[in-house]
Amino acid sequence: MKLPDAPWFPIRTKRLLLREARESDSADIHAYASDPEVARYMDWGPNDEATTRDVLDRWTKKQAEWPRADVNLLVEHLADSRVIGSIRLGVKDLANRSADFGHSYNRAYWRKGYGTEAARAMLAVGFETLGLHRIWATADVRNRASWSLLAKLGMRREARFRRDVFVKGVWRDSYLYAILAEEWRTAKPL
């Protein structure tokens, strides 16, 4: 496998636009990145304004590179043109065509299907455009909403890693979920 010569984004879904970051997105990003509930199970945050600006600066600088194995996109809600989260797809092993993804969203947009819609679009790109064999994600075992979303995508729980990540001063357990290309093609989840 080789990385594509041209970017495979932006991606438009029924209600969302997955696109690169702009400097003007800072306030929307900070709205969710500063929320303690959003950051509760993440290995980052909650952010102060300086941290959010630093993250946005890193993202926009990284966007100048192509090809790149790790792509972070913002999730824009089309109805109100607000950035409601971010989603990342990272090719981890070119030879074995595997990647992982992660995401986070503004709490005001939780439980409305946006996370599933954006993740489904990223899985489609991974398998149908990039030709990946396997895509995986991890979730804190306490974050039921996260691992339930992964299962809804047709991903299966492959492992529970005990005390595998040191986050915010404590060791946490993580679930590993994954889906193979042939599973994606034969059982495209709703």
The answer to the question of residue 1 being in a domain is no
Q: What is the identity of the amino acid at 170?
A: V
CA–CA separation, 163 vs 53, rounded Å?
31
Cα distances (angstroms) measured from residue 55 to each of 34, 59, 73: 12, 6, 13
Six token digits for residue 91: 């090719």
Residue 121 lies in a domain: yes
Q: At what angle do helices 114-124 and 144-152 cross, to 10 degrees?
A: 50
Domain-embedded: residue 19: yes
- pTM to 2 decimals? 0.95
Output the pLDDT for position 78.
Answer: 98
**What does the DSSP 8-state code read for residue 127?**
I
Residue 140: DSSP 8-state: E
What CATH number should be reported for the domain holding residue 56?
3.40.630.30
Nearest by Cα to 87 from 6, 143, 5, 146: 146
Q: Is residue 4 part of a domain?
A: no
**What is the pLDDT, as a whole number, of residue 114?**
98
Q: Which domain holds residue 84?
A: 11-186
Q: Give the model confidence (pLDDT) of 94-144 as tens digits.
A: 999 999 999 999 999 999 999 999 999 999 999 999 999 999 999 999 999
Does residue 84 belong to any structural domain of this protein?
Answer: yes
* C-alpha dist (Å) from residue 78 to 81, 92, 104, 174: 5, 30, 17, 33
Q: Taking a C-beta distance cutoff of 8 angstroms, is the pair 60, 29 a contact?
A: no
Q: Examine residue 6 and state whether it is found in any structural domain, yes or no.
A: no
Domain count, the chain: 1
Cβ neighbour number for residue 152 with a 10 Å cutoff: 15
- Determine what percent of the chain is predicted with pLDDT higher than 70: 98
Residue 190 has pLDDT above 80, yes or no: no
Residue 69 has pLDDT above 70, yes or no: yes
Compute the radius of gyration of the chain from its Cα atoms.
16
Residue 64 lies in a domain: yes
> pLDDT for 83-97, tens place per residue?
999 999 999 999 999
Spatial distance between the Cα atoms of 29 and 84, rounded to a whole number of angstroms: 7
What is the mean predicted confidence (pLDDT) over 137-165?
A: 97
